[in-house]
Structure 1
Amino acid sequence: MKNNIENKVIVITGASSGLGEATAKHLAEKGAILVLGARRTDKLEQIVKDITSKGGTATFLKTDVINKAQVQALVDMAVNTYGKIDVLINNAGIMPIAPMSEVRTDEWDNMIDINIKGVLYGIAAALPIFQKQESGHFINLGSVAGIKVFSPGGTVYSGTKYAVRAISDGLRHEIGRNIRTTIIEPGAVDSELKLSTNHQESSAGVNEFYKMAIPAASIARAIAFAIEQPADVDINEIVIRPTAQDF
């Protein structure tokens, strides 16, 4: 084997664009077997075509991470098709930014459902398999907003990413020596995440902030670095910012 990624079965949620797409393509180049989930099947189909046309192996299933059964079906498809799952990348997320005073409870609910419960559903689906295999790797996408509150307007988003950080840390403590847990915490990265905001003033601020964004491929390389370590090495946390980002 050329590396510790080749022939690993890797499931990615939120794989239809941005970090998910970039990670899928980068890992495919390293010989991984990809199982991709997202809501937009037209985009997933094109990504799979791009990967397979270059000799890679990939498949997809329509997956909304707020639906526990669909997340379970994605993981089950990986195991039923390839006999195992080596890595689950909990990548799906949204970032609608608005002041708390706007009281956008529907947006708060969506962030909690996707950013927190979506991660938990992924863990719930894969953990029994990892325990049976006595191996596996969770990679959860957090944010620098889970280290420092993104303000103004990002209080609830930061709350969800603080939760992902706590869940990742607690999971690592609980599940024992054979299963790895990594949290990736990006700063400004070029993706569709910035498009989640429809509060006009906040959107202008987000777009200005994201002018410094680094490519999604930067995060894909960090994820590959965590995966390719020997089985007895667990990269717990990686924080990645543009050099121009000061928080």
Structure 2
Amino acid sequence: MFSMNQKVIVITGGTGILGGSFVKGVCEAGGTAVILGRNQAEGDERVRQVKEAGGEALFIQADVLNESDLQKACDQVLNTYGKVNGLVNAAGGNIPEAVIGPDADIFTIDIPALRKAFDLNLFGTILPTTIFGKAIAAGNEKGSIVNISSMAAQTAITRVLGYSMAKAAIDNFTRWMAVELANRYGDKIRMNAIAPGFFITHQNRRLLTNEDGSYTSRGEAVIRSTPYKRFGEPDELVGTLLWLLGDGTGFVTGEVICVDGGFHVFSGV
């Protein structure tokens, strides 16, 4: 029910830490991973690792905010494999300039930085959806699109204003698009999202941990608010991803699934 056998799954941000786990998980489940990212060397290395393990993967250098890049990538996928079965919108992340420090004037906000956060996270999800989603719709098989939300969209998390608002918009887009896809295509294309809890990535490592590996004050606050009392491991997202991409969830759409060690349900008491 949740096999990726014979499925071609496009993964944006596939050169990142979470994206890397997604690529590995899809390929281990029998699927073909098409890795989209800007880092050619990292992308080539991901493909090498997959093929060394007996899987199939393709890296295409592309910027998720460049419509021409995405269209060329889609054309290459269709020319190579003849179809697209799924899309994982994993590209995104925090923008340092859009962070509001604890001592900053909250009435002096860097508006261009907020726009940059929206571009990367929201429009970096919408643009791939419009191009690869169209390819899914034109194909002969059913497909699934999975967006990446965040705990920052569930509750107010200090400092990361631009990131939080952009991820909240992704939640809304997920629900809106799921309904519109169903109205137009029935159950052919589903859209859902995963809201990860706190996972250590390149972008938040210095916010959550010190150079010696100990927690920063922010990292300690996260751990106190997480019932599991630890950060998540990237591979712990893979099961939910495969569940949402697989045929076994054919009646699931418009959902945001939290994978967070209990963070969003914990009152702190």
1:220 partner amino acid: V
The separation in 2 between residues aligned to 1:186 and 1:147, in whole angstroms, is 10
1:73 aligned onto 2:62 = no
1:179 aligned onto 2:185 = no
1:225 aligned onto 2:227 = no
The separation in 1 between residues aligned to 2:120 and 2:206, in whole angstroms, is 13
Contact 1:88 1:126 in 2 (8 A): yes
- Deviation of 1:98 after TM superposition, in Å, equals 2.4
- Deviation of 1:59 after TM superposition, in Å, equals 0.7
After TM superposition, the score normalised by the length of structure 2 is 0.81
- Superposed, 1:120-139 pairs within 5 Å as 120-133=126-139, 135-139=142-146
Which residue of structure 1 lines up, in the alignment, with residue 234 of structure 2? 216
The alignment partner of 2:13 has SS state of coil
TM-superposition CA deviations, 1:111-158 (whole Å, max 9, x none): 11110111110111022222222622110001121121222x122211
Which residue of structure 1 lines up, in the alignment, with residue 100 of structure 2? 98
Which residue of structure 2 lines up, in the alignment, with residue 146 of structure 1? 153
Q: What is the RMSD of the two structures over their aligned residues, measured on CA atoms?
A: 2.3
Which residue of structure 2 lines up, in the alignment, with residue 190 of structure 1? 200
1:128 partner amino acid: K
The separation in 1 between residues aligned to 2:70 and 2:151, in whole angstroms, is 26
The separation in 1 between residues aligned to 2:178 and 2:206, in whole angstroms, is 30
Percent identity reads 22
Which residue of structure 1 lines up, in the alignment, with residue 20 of structure 2? 21
Specify every segment of 5 or more residues in structure 1 that has no aligned partner in the other structure, as ranges: 198-202
The alignment partner of 1:64 has SS state of coil
Contact 1:72 1:121 in 2 (8 A): no
Contact 1:191 1:216 in 2 (8 A): no
The separation in 2 between residues aligned to 1:66 and 1:185, in whole angstroms, is 22
Runs (4+) of structure 1 exceeding 4 A deviation are 203-211
Contact 1:19 1:220 in 2 (8 A): no
The separation in 2 between residues aligned to 1:82 and 1:173, in whole angstroms, is 29
Which residue of structure 2 lines up, in the alignment, with residue 200 of structure 1? none
Question: Which is further off, 72-81 or 166-175?
Answer: 72-81
Please tell me whether Structure 1 or Structure 2 has the larger radius of gyration of its CA atoms: 2
- Deviation of 1:183 after TM superposition, in Å, equals 0.6
Contact 2:2 2:243 in 1 (8 A): no
The separation in 2 between residues aligned to 1:244 and 1:145, in whole angstroms, is 11
Q: Give aligned pairs, total.
A: 240
The separation in 2 between residues aligned to 1:196 and 1:70, in whole angstroms, is 31
The alignment partner of 1:77 has SS state of helix
The alignment partner of 2:193 has SS state of strand
The alignment partner of 1:7 has SS state of coil
